[in-house]
Structure 1
Amino acid sequence: MGFVLAGCGGEETTIQESNGGGSGGATESQEFRLGMVAAQNSVQHLAAEKFAELANEKTNGEISISVFPAGQIGSDESLGQDLSRGNLEFAFLNQGSMSGMDQLLDFHYLPYIVSNYKQADKLFFEDGIIPQTMTETLEDNGIKALGWYELEFRGLSNSKGPVETPADMEGLRLRVPGSQAIMGFFQGVGSQTVTIAMPELYTALQQGTVDGQDNGLLITHDNRLHETNPYYTRLNHVYATGTIAMSDSVWETLSEEHQSAIQEAAKETQDWQIAEQRKVSEDYVKKMEGDGVEVINLTPEQISAFQEVGMGVWESLYDIYGEERIEQLKEEVEQVKDLK
């Protein structure tokens, strides 16, 4: 037998009740949704499907999660709002695009925090100020961080020409997420910044509303953003992560056994996704080049010119992220600087 519970905003959670084997008892099957903006069949989408499968297995079929990729049920901003209100159960959430909800959610977008994966593993996936800030800020907004996933080092695609120096970016009109840190970096090199939701970006590039955009290789290729942007520079200015997220109000309705199972599923998914993302990353250079894109790998000397601009942004954002928080991050960066 089945019945429906009406939730906030008219959303519904379906509960299926079935007789359990020889015990004659009843088992409730809860059907939830997971939204994400990542493209169909991207590493993030495959990870979300894996999470749904693991959650189902670990709850003995008592929790079923349907995955909706490619912005089918909303942008990062609207997914975050729906989680916060209890209108959506799960999301693979790019919290850096949600600074409209809370400015601290793009704290991890400060330019040039890390330059390699070993440094990233220490600062983004252990217990430093970045995961602490993300977890606490999401919690303050009704969202539970179950785990993290990798969104890669970000770069710049554009339609005007190769970018190898800060001067090459002067006057470019660029789509960036609504992050004070990223906007500050691009404005620092003389670019104009525009905030456009991810599901609308392809059209904006196609119509020439913007000259280029700031994203990683995989996201750029999987969303076909390179089709009108034949130049891609690996600036590596931001190492980006996302959140395996759940509505906190829905989390509180789960049994302890189901909470434990969901947490285990998230941890296994996190480990799988990060490894898979890194494994395929360099393959995307070949994919982009095969599609006619000029991929520019900067020398350490060229990177240092961009770093100088990026690091200058940090202290200008004390009022937004807090001086104490930024200074603690500086200390952590210093501690991992020799990791290669």
Structure 2
Amino acid sequence: MEFSLSNAFTLARTVAISTTIIVASANAVASDQKYNFKLALESGDRDSAQGKSMQMWADLIKEKSDGRMKVGIFYQGELGGQQELFDQLVKGNIDMMVTWPQTSYDERLAVNYIPYLTLGWEDALKAYGENGWLKDILGGVYKDIGLKYFGPYPEGFGGVATKGRYATNFEDAQGIKVRSTPVFPLPQTVKALGFQAVPIDWAEVYTSIQTGVVDGDSGNVIYWDYEYFRDQLDYFVHTKHNFSSYAILMNDETWQELDQEDQTIIADAAQAVIEKQFKDARAEDEKWIKAAQDAGMEYIVPSTEEMQAWVERVRAEVWPQIEPAVGKELMDKLQENASDPNAVTQ
């Protein structure tokens, strides 16, 4: 029989089910069931901030359940690419995941990627925080596609990293090819900034830069461009066009099989990770900005005038494309809560 990654997922799922005692009914008395969950990261190794955070989630779950619930962590590339992993999460072959959500299942998830929706840390925290207006919106959408949403894993504001030359305005960006995450409306945003957007899966970015398929990367906080591509890239322009925020998710069918006590353990552990990351994210981003500069990468902040011009152009071009996907009612709410463009600062 031909062996494929799909077969591997099926086999892993079968083994997991055969070794896991599922709650027999909603009236199960006490939490004495044992579970072995699979948690996947689309990007980040075990030593990355994200890898360490997911280990914290796994450790807390194991600790609070007295070892009944264990979580096996699979890091970037170990179980497949970005879209494939998300597919397997929805199917239940993967139990948990931290990911940039794929809009292929519901275009309303594009709200997570609306460019220049928030223009500073305070506004971002109000939107994505525990009681944030955007978190409520996202939770309902994830539920509709069969996923339990615990909350965001924020990293900071993304930028555009390139080699050879850089741009801080629409005109100078012409002809510069940069990788974009292949999720709507990120390629459209990069194009509106003036760059040529090339949608590429994360696993292929290094080779694409090395071989000249693209001149750089876009949308990530500086950590990723410094840590993974520092020998290829010369500049990081902090365009801040997107607030880089992953989602911490669980297959909803798996979630519903748990009794209330076990759900509480997993949810509380996730919330502890999220709260810590909100506290750490800004300092973490600033740490890697300095590290990149010390290593020779030039860190560039556009002027207030250049930022305002980009915000105006991108909102005018991209936001109308988003409304058909998310609906007018939702788009009105997003625009009502969006940052004031006049609040742009360096």
* TM-score bucket of the superposed structures, by smaller chain: 0.7 to 0.9
Contact 2:61 2:269 in 1 (8 A): yes
2:10 maps to 9
Which residue of structure 2 lines up, in the alignment, with residue 103 of structure 1? 107
Q: Does 1:320 pair with 2:325?
A: yes
Q: Which runs of 5+ in 1 are unaligned?
A: 1-6, 18-24
**Cα deviation, residue 139, structure 1:** 1.5
Describe the SS at the equivalent of 1:65. Answer: strand
Alignment correspondent of 2:39: 34
The 8 Å contact of residues 129 and 329 in structure 1, kept in 2 or not, is answered as no
**Amino acid of the structure 2 residue aligned with 1:50:** M
Name the TM-score, length of structure 1 as normaliser. Answer: 0.88
CA distance in 2, matches of 1:153, 1:243: 15
Q: CA distance change for structure 1 residues 8 and 43 in 2, over 3 Å: closer, same or farther? A: closer
- Secondary structure of 1:91's aligned partner: strand
| Distance of 1:337 and 1:271 partners within structure 2 | 29
TM-score normalised by structure 2 residue count: 0.86
Between the aligned partners of 1:296 and 1:158, the Cα distance in structure 2 is 11
Number of residue pairs the alignment of both structures matches: 324
In structure 1, distance between residues paired with 2:342 and 2:97: 33
Amino acid of the structure 1 residue aligned with 2:322: L
Matched, 1:94 2:100: yes
Q: Return the match for 2:229 from 220, 225, 235.
A: 225
1:338 positional shift: 7.0
Kept in 2, the 8 Å contact 1:86–1:249? The answer is yes
Letter aligned with residue 94 of structure 1:
W
**Which residue, 145, 148, 161 being the options, matches 2:149?**
145
1:127 deviates by 4.7
Check conservation: 2:161, 2:237, Cα contact below 8 A. yes
Deviation at 1:81, TM superposition (A): 1.0
Match of 1:173 among 172, 177, 183: 177
Q: Give the 3 Å change call, closer, same or farther, for CA 75–124 of structure 1 in structure 2.
A: same
Q: Would the alpha carbon gap of residues 238 and 330 (structure 1) be closer, same or farther in structure 2, given more than 3 Å must change?
A: same
Amino acid across the alignment from 2:199: T
Deviations 1:109-149 (A, max 9, x none): 11111121111111122455532332222222211112221
**Partner AA of 2:82 in structure 1:** D
RMSD: 2.5
- TM-superposed deviation, 1:190: 3.5
| Aligned residue number for residue 24 of structure 2 | none
Distance 1:316 1:32, change over 3 A: closer
- How far, CA to CA, are the matches of 1:233 and 1:152 in structure 2? 14
CA contact (8 A) 2:166 2:173 kept: no
Unaligned 5+ segments in structure 2 are 1-7, 22-29
Q: Does 1:332 align with 2:337?
A: yes
Determine the C-alpha separation between the residues in 1 that align with 2:31 and 2:312.
63
1: CA distance, partners of 2:250 / 2:234: 37
AA matched with 2:89: L
Instruction: Give the match for residue 240 of structure 2.
Output: 236
1:177–1:26 CA distance, 2 compared to 1 (3 A): closer
Runs of 4+ in 1 over 4 A off after TM superposition: 126-129, 334-340
Tell me the amino acid that sits aligned with residue 290 of structure 1. Answer: D
Which amino acid letter does the alignment assign opposite residue 10 of structure 2?
Answer: G
Say whether residues 1:67 and 2:68 are aligned partners: no
CA contact (8 A) 1:107 1:181 kept: no
User: What are the within-5 Å matches in structure 2 for residues 105-144 of structure 1?
Assistant: 105-127=109-131, 130-144=134-148
Of residues 38, 52, 58, the one that matches 2:64 is 58
Match of 1:164 in 2: 168
Decide whether aligned partners of structure 1 residues 203 and 334 sit closer, same or farther in structure 2, where only a CA change above 3 A counts. Answer: closer
SS across alignment from 1:35: strand
